Amino acid sequence: MSTTTASPGTPAGASAVPAAPPAVPRGHEAGLRPRLGRVFQHGGWFVAPFLLVYGLFLVWPLVSGLWYSLNETNLAGIDTEFVGLDNYREALGDDQMWDALGNTLRFTAMVTPLIVVTALGLALLTHHIRRGRWFWRLAFFAPFLLPSAVVSDMWRWLYEPDFGLINNATNHRTPWLLDGDWAMFSVVLTTLWWTVGFSYLLYLAALQAIPEHLHEAAALDGAGPLKRMWHITIPMLRNITGLVVILQILASLQVFDQIFLITEGGPNNETRPVVQYVIYQGFTGYRIGYASAISYIVFVLVVTVTLLRLWMVRRREESTP
């Protein structure tokens, strides 16, 4: 039922004028809007699924893993006991953890320069080939698309000491997977063949972005192919080389698949990476808290490498006139 008001001088029987609603200040009206609506009115709903997945599968595991590292707990979460930093102290004094971390660093130091040099060489070769360029692009990149299980199983057969293709082709009985040094080299060689295609594509795209007139001007000045590559191509690829190096280092510090599938960390744990040791402690030794502490030590190492690389890039950009 609507409420009406009549002025004192309104005759009886005349229609009354409805009362106007009270004016609401503009600022107060804006304050009545839901905050969530203001946040998502400019396309926020489009990023909401990503934020949900990001929080569920990255932020939450990071927070829960940090909490687990401060406790002594198992897979079932029974008999959980808060131990503070004891897991970190134990990890820093664990010789097996340091051996596994040393294997990871050794793998990283071996595979990173090989991938950088090989990827650059393949990209230069493909860039200068005129006929069948599509075939070489496919051939160099195709192994990167294979699953790790397929690659590892295939190379295990190649490394067989008795009937493997490599030993039969070279007429040697090299213990590829039975000796610690040879086993690590075998994993590095497999990783090079498997993953070099990604870095190769990065280099190839960067080569195609180099202005052609720079090479033409250098050729007119009498510079040969080697001089043009050393003074033009390599400097122009400096940024992409830094990207390839940092991506390969980060990937190598987290290596697990091919080492476990080819050597299972052996012989005598001489190829066992630190990620495999984390899995062993957490899912074989049922020490989730201790495994989480080791994971955070590796996490700090990865973050340190990333920040160091960013600092080097920024310092180089600031020093460049």
Residue-level pLDDT at 320? 66
Token pair for residue 164? Answer: 């493997």
Task: Indicate left, alpha or beta for 296 from its phi (over 0: left) and psi (-120 to 50: alpha).
Answer: alpha
Whether the ω angle into residue 211 lies within 30 degrees of 0, i.e. cis, is: no
Low-confidence ranges of the chain (pLDDT < 50): 1-16, 24, 27-32
Residue-level pLDDT at 13? 46
Tens of pLDDT, residues 174-214:
889 988 889 999 999 999 999 999 999 999 999 989 888 88
Residue-level pLDDT at 31? 47
List alpha helices for 129-233, DSSP H.
133-141, 148-158, 165-170, 180-208, 212-220, 225-228
Residue-level pLDDT at 36? 55
Q: Using CA atoms, how far apart are residues 186 and 302, in angstroms rounded to an integer?
A: 25
List alpha helices for the chain, DSSP H.
26-31, 35-40, 44-54, 60-69, 86-92, 95-128, 133-141, 148-158, 165-170, 180-208, 212-220, 225-228, 234-236, 238-253, 257-263, 274-279, 288-319
User: Structure pTM?
Assistant: 0.81
Domains in the chain, ordered, with CATH?
96-291 (1.10.3720.10)
Q: Using CA atoms, how far apart are residues 221 and 212, in angstroms rounded to an integer?
A: 15
Residue-level pLDDT at 40? 59
